[in-house]
Chain A
Amino acid sequence: MNKILQKWFPPFLMLAMALWFFAKLQSPPQKDFAFNEFGRLPVVFNGRTKPMDSLARNSLLEIRGKQTLNAEPWKGWSDHPKILSATEWLANLMMNPGIADEWPVFRVDNPDLVSLLKLPDADPAKKSDGKHFSWNQLQPVIEIFEKENTRAQGVESANRTAYENAIVKLHNGLMLYVQLKNTLQPADAQDWPAELAQFEQSIPDGMAAAQAQQAGKKFDTNAFAIFAGDISRFQFMGSLETPLVLPPGSGRDWRRMGDALLAAPRGETIDNFVRDYAKLAGALAAKQPESFNTALTDLRSQMIPTQAKALDKCRAEVYFNQMEPFYNAMIIYVLAGLLAIFSWFNLSETLRRSAVWLTGLALAIHTAGLLYRMILEGRPPVTNLYSSAIFIGWGACVLGLILEKFHKNGIGVVVASGIGFITLIIAHHLALEGDTMEMMRAVLDTNFWLATHVVAVTVGYASTFVAGFLALIYILRGVFTKTLDEATGKSLARMIYGIVCFATLFSFVGTVLGGIWADQSWGRFWGWDPKENGALIIVLWNALILHLRWGGIIRERGLVCCAIFGNIVTAWSWFGVNMLGIGLHSYGFTEAAFKWLVLFVVSQLAFIGLGLLPAKWWKSSSQRAAN
Chain B
Amino acid sequence: MKKTVEFFCSLKLTVALLAFSIVLVFVGTLAQADEGLYGAQAHYFKQWIVLGAHMFGHKVPLILPGGYLLGVLLLVNLVCAHIYRFQLTTKKIGIQLAHAGVIVLLVGQLSTDLLSRELQMHFTEGQLRNYSDSATDYELIFLNGDTVTAIAEKSLKPGTEMQIASLPFAICVKENWHNSDLNFRAPMLQNAPPLTTNGVALSFDFRKVDDVKTMDARNVPTAVLEFRTPAGSLGIWVASDWAGDAALVEAVRNGYAQMGAGMAQSIATKLTAPQSVTVDGKKFTFNIRPLRVYHPFSLTLLKATHTVYPGTDIPKDFRSRVRIDNPSAHEQREVEISMNHPLRYGGYTYYQYQMDAGQVAQQAGRTPSSVLSVVRNPSWLTPYVGCGMVGLGLTIQFLYHLVGFVSKRKTP
Contacts and interface: CB of A to CB of B under 8 A. Distances in A.
Interface in A507-540: 508-509, 512-513, 515-517, 519-530, 533-534, 536-537, 540
Nearest to A49: B310
Given A534-B29, A553-B12, A540 B340 contact: no
B29 A530 contact: yes
Nearest to B41: A528
B52 to A, nearest CB: 18
B303 to A, nearest CB: 16
A180 to B, nearest CB: 14
Interface stretch (B16-24, B166-174, B242-250, B327-335): B16-24
Given A47-B311, A47-B312, A241-B311, A443 B339 contact: yes
B310 A547 contact: no
Interface in B156-198: none
Interface residues of B, number: 63
A264 interface: no
B310 A577 contact: no
A540 B25 contact: yes
Nearest to A501: B398
A544 B22 contact: yes
Interface SS of chain B? helix
Given A512-B105, A541-B22, A544-B18, A244 B311 contact: yes
B342 interface: yes
B252 interface: no
B37 A544 contact: no
A256 interface: yes
Contacts of A48: 309
Given A516-B383, A523-B373, A553-B12, A540 B21 contact: yes
B406 to A, nearest CB: 8
Contacts, number: 165
A253 B307 CA distance: 13
A592 to B, nearest CB: 20
A15 interface: no
Interface in A576-627: 577, 580-584
A45 B311 CA distance: 7
- Chain A: interface size category: 35 or more
Contact of B314 (A47, A520, A548): A47
Interface string B390-412: 11001101100110011001000
A526 B109 contact: yes
Contact of A523 (B309, B375, B387): B375
8 contacts: A445-B317, A498-B401, A516-B384, A519-B383, A521-B342, A526-B109, A528-B37, A577-B29
Interface of A: 44-48, 241, 243-244, 253-256, 406, 439, 441-443, 445-446, 449, 498, 501-502, 504-505, 508-509, 512-513, 515-517, 519-530, 533-534, 536-537, 540-541, 543-544, 547-548, 550-551, 553, 577, 580-584
Given A512-B391, A533-B29, 20 more contacts: A241-B311, A441-B315, A442-B316, A443-B339, A445-B316, A498-B402, A505-B391, A508-B394, A517-B340, A519-B383, A521-B340, A523-B349, A524-B375, A525-B383, A533-B28, A541-B22, A544-B15, A547-B11, A548-B15, A580-B30
